[in-house]
Each structure stands twice: as C-alpha cells, then as structure tokens.
C-alpha cells in the first residue's frame, strides 16, 4: 500500500477563495491563511511563471526574481506539463484592464 498517496481534496477552501470579491479581501485571507514565508514562495513562483511565459531565460529570471534554478525548473515543468492553471490566470489577467 502506498502510504504517500494524496488524500482527496476538500473543496471548501477553494470555494472560499472564489467567494473573495476584492484585492484587499484576497490579500487579507491569504495573510491569515499563510505564513510570510509561504506567501513569499507563492509570489516568487508566480513571478517566475510570468517571466517564463514572457520568454525570459533562466539566468535573467534568476537575476530578476532571486529564485533558485530548482524553483525555475519546477515552475517551468508546471507550465509545460501541469494542469493549465497558470495559463488560465495569465489569459484572464491580460483580458482585464487594471
């Protein structure tokens, strides 16, 4: 038996995130939910993904974000072989004017 098998996800948290209506609500929720280190890691991964999507090379991304090459590689794998979550967000953010 594989004891490292992932448990089924509880959708409650994801539905809660979808209920947030403003940037301030979203920031407050994630500030309460995550540690500063966790937030910084997520923000860095998103920045790396954005840089990769813009066609930047690893060395330039490393210089701009401070991310390790392992983090850049991991994010790149998610962009290439993941479930498309980054793509959905990038497309929607580009559609909406600020």
Q: Which CATH architecture has domain 36-95?
A: Orthogonal Bundle (1.10)
pLDDT of residue 52: 97
Q: Is the pLDDT of residue 1 over 60?
A: no
This prediction's pTM:
0.84
Q: Which residues contact 81 (CB under 8 A, 6 or more apart)?
A: none
pLDDT of residue 84: 96
Q: Do residues 17 and 32 touch, judged by C-beta distance below 8 A?
A: no
Residue predicted with more confidence, 63 or 98: 63
pLDDT of residue 97: 66
- Domain ranges for the chain: 36-95
Q: How many CA atoms lie within 13 A of 96 on its CB side?
A: 7
Task: Give the helix, strand, coil percentages of the chain, each rounded to 5.
Answer: 70, 0, 30
Query: What digits encode the pLDDT tens for the residues 27-61?
Result: 999 999 999 999 999 999 999 999 999 999 999 99
pLDDT of residue 7: 77
Query: What digits encode the pLDDT tens for the residues 66-98?
Result: 999 999 999 999 999 999 999 999 999 988 766
Query: What secondary structure does DSSP assign to 11-49, as a single string?
Result: THHHHHHHH--SHHHHHHHHHHHS-HHHHHHHHHHHHHH
């Amino acid at each position: 038996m594989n004891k490292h098998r992932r448990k089924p996800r509880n959708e409650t948290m994801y539905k809660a995130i979808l209920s947030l209506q403003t940037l301030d609500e979203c920031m407050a929720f994630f500030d309460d939910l995550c540690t500063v280190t966790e937030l910084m890691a997520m923000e860095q991964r998103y920045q790396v993904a954005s840089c990769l999507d813009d066609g930047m090379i690893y060395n330039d991304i490393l210089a701009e974000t401070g991310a390790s090459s392992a983090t850049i590689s991991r994010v790149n794998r998610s962009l290439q072989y993941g479930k498309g979550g980054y793509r959905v967000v990038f497309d929607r953010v580009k559609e909406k004017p600020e």
